[in-house]
Amino acid sequence: MRLKFFNKNKQPNFFIYAIREIFLVVIGILIAVSINNWNEKRKKNNELNQLLVKVKEDLKTDLTKIEEVVKHYQSIKPVFEKVLKSEYTIEDYKNNPNIALLIFGYPELTLNQRGVSLLEDFKGNVTLEKEKLVQELIMFYKEQLWEIKVDDDLRAKDYNENFTYWKNNTDWWLDYVQLKVTNEFIEYALKSKDYKTRVATADFFAYKVYLPELDKFKLKGLELIDKIENINE
């Protein structure tokens, strides 16, 4: 039968059939691989979209926290100005003891990093546009968190220096830490150049250094929120 098959010149037809079958198998494999790759890419894209939404929500929360800090400093800005211009009187301090607590403390700010940390760990093939946005978000958080931390450390250091100095060198400190404004403190606040120097330093760190960095975070943060919303439409 074999001899008869080959004698009738069926060999070319056999090879054509075999090649066709192999071709169909290869096409099937390629299609299956393509579908699998498409599914994986879709899953990764959905995962990235969820991470971007998480970062967007973190940004919104951060902006709310920043706004609270800004409002605090805006509310006490007139107090800084009046102290530095020596416009307060003994009666002012007695009628409004909060004036005496101007640089007793400072509002702390903790920004969210969970979302961007997950974004840093994300692995997957995504569009070039999303890859650029991911890198922009990561760099934004790294740079801004560092800048804010540096300025926050300056505020903390200044506060601690005031705290330590007053604790070790004044007679009114025990009352002051109990939020009692004594005549001794009022006299110090009104007549001492040391106090005005400390207030001026706190004013500088807050309004010339710290708040400008928060403003930068707000402006760029709002821009990035818009980008996330647009890219996920």
199 token code pair: 């207030």
pLDDT, tens only, 171-216: 999 999 999 999 999 999 999 999 999 999 999 999 999 999 999 9
Is residue 151 pLDDT above 60, yes or no? yes
- 150-155 mean pLDDT: 91
In this predicted model, which residue has the larger pLDDT, 20 or 172? Answer: 172
Domain ranges of the chain: 2-231
Q: Is the pLDDT of residue 46 over 60?
A: yes
Mean per-residue pLDDT of the chain: 87
pLDDT at residue 1, rounded to an integer? 53
Which of 214, 223, 176, 227 has the alpha carbon at shortest distance from 70?
214
Q: What is the pTM of this model?
A: 0.79
Rounded distance, CA 82 to CA 171, Å?
A: 25
Phi and psi angles of residue 104, each rounded to the nearest 5 degrees, phi first: -75, -30
pLDDT digits (tens, 9 = 90+) for 60-117: 999 999 999 999 999 999 999 999 999 999 999 999 999 999 999 889 899 988 899 9
Give the pair of three-digit tokens for residue 215.
């403003």
Residue 88 pLDDT: 96
Q: Please report the pLDDT score of residue 60 as a whole number.
A: 95
Q: What is the 3-state secondary structure (H, E, C) of 134-200?
A: HHHHHHHHHHHHHHHHHHHHHHHHHHHHHHHHHHHHCCCHHHHCCCCCCHHHHHHHHHCHHHHHHHH
